[in-house]
Amino acid sequence: MKVCVFGASGYVGASVYKRLKDKEALEVSGTYLDEPPLFDDLIKLDINEPESFSDYYKSENPDVVVWSVMDGPNEHELTDNGLINLITFLTPATKLIYISSDFVFSAGKGPYKEADPLSTLPDDHVYSTYANAKVKAERLINHELSNYVILRAGPIFGENKIGKLDERTDKLSYHLRSGKAIAFRDDLIRTFVNVEDLAGTIVQMVENDQVGTYHTGSGETKSYYEFMSATAEQLGFNPNMVEKASEYEEADHEIPKNTALNTGKIAKIMK
């Protein structure tokens, strides 16, 4: 079976790529964009660029594609160009595994189940680019494809397979090592997901016949403040160094409050 990982140099993609590479039965290729690539055998590809995308895709002709690509301020381009390039080439025989986000529920009134309606943010909202591009991507996939898995994730944390930490934990540990307190909001409720658990889920989805939309994570729902205090303690720091951040925000900077994900559906099918 041939598998392509788009975004194999990224935080999640690197773990997925490495785990898949360890499986002898699979023929795995991966892409990167910015130099230097994390692994020597990755292929440079701008997924938004139709001609190079076509050349890459035709040469690989995969059975499974993993989408682990993200480009915050240009996320719309990834959906409008990159994802559409991909959908043009996908046949029903090829399975797409697309990593989506809890921000498709930007109304922030969770916890959410898979079938709950998605919501977008006003165009002038500071988070609209990412959230709305993910909503659009999910709708496109749902409309155009049948052989797909959408995995929605809340904040992804922990050390990945090549020893890289997520930015929040990195920042937390930098602050606490320097003896400085750090503050996180207690009114933002999320379902946090460990990067290695997510990578393991993706590998299982590559190998099994499951399709559809799933919420990922252990089901543990916490505020950022609660989660980061617990993380500080696990890292051997005094959790009291983690403080509650101000909840004041401008109208167009309002962060979705509760985007927690009910993960009961995936728990029933995962090993």
Binding span for ligand NAP by CB under 6 A among 68-76, 110-118, 173-181, 218-226: 68-76
How many residues touch ligand NAP under the rule CB under 6 A: the total is 24
Binding span for ligand NAP by CB under 6 A among 67-75, 180-188, 224-232, 233-241: 67-75
Query: Closest residue (Cβ) to ligand NAP?
Result: 10
Between strands 221-223 and 189-191, the pairing is antiparallel
Which run of H or E residues covers position 37?
Answer: none
Asked whether position 156 contacts ligand NAP by CB under 6 A, the answer is yes
Instruction: For ligand NAP, give the closer residue by CB, 68 or 94.
Output: 68
Asked whether position 7 contacts ligand NAP by CB under 6 A, the answer is yes
Q: Which residue of 3, 5, 66, 69 would you call a contact of ligand NAP, by CB under 6 A?
A: 69
Asked whether position 16 contacts ligand NAP by CB under 6 A, the answer is no
Before 36, cis peptide (omega within 30)? yes
Burial class (CB within 10 angstroms; exposed 0-12, middle 13-18, buried 19+) of 186: middle
Nearest to 183 by CA among 166, 165, 171: 171
Which run of H or E residues covers position 156?
Answer: strand 156-157
Q: Which residue of 3, 45, 104, 133 would you call a contact of ligand NAP, by CB under 6 A?
A: 45
HSE-CB at 38 with a 13 A cutoff on CA atoms is: 21
Least distance in angstroms from the C-beta of 265 to ligand NAP = 17
Q: Which residue of 3, 5, 20, 47 would you call a contact of ligand NAP, by CB under 6 A?
A: 47
The amino acid at residue 116 is: D
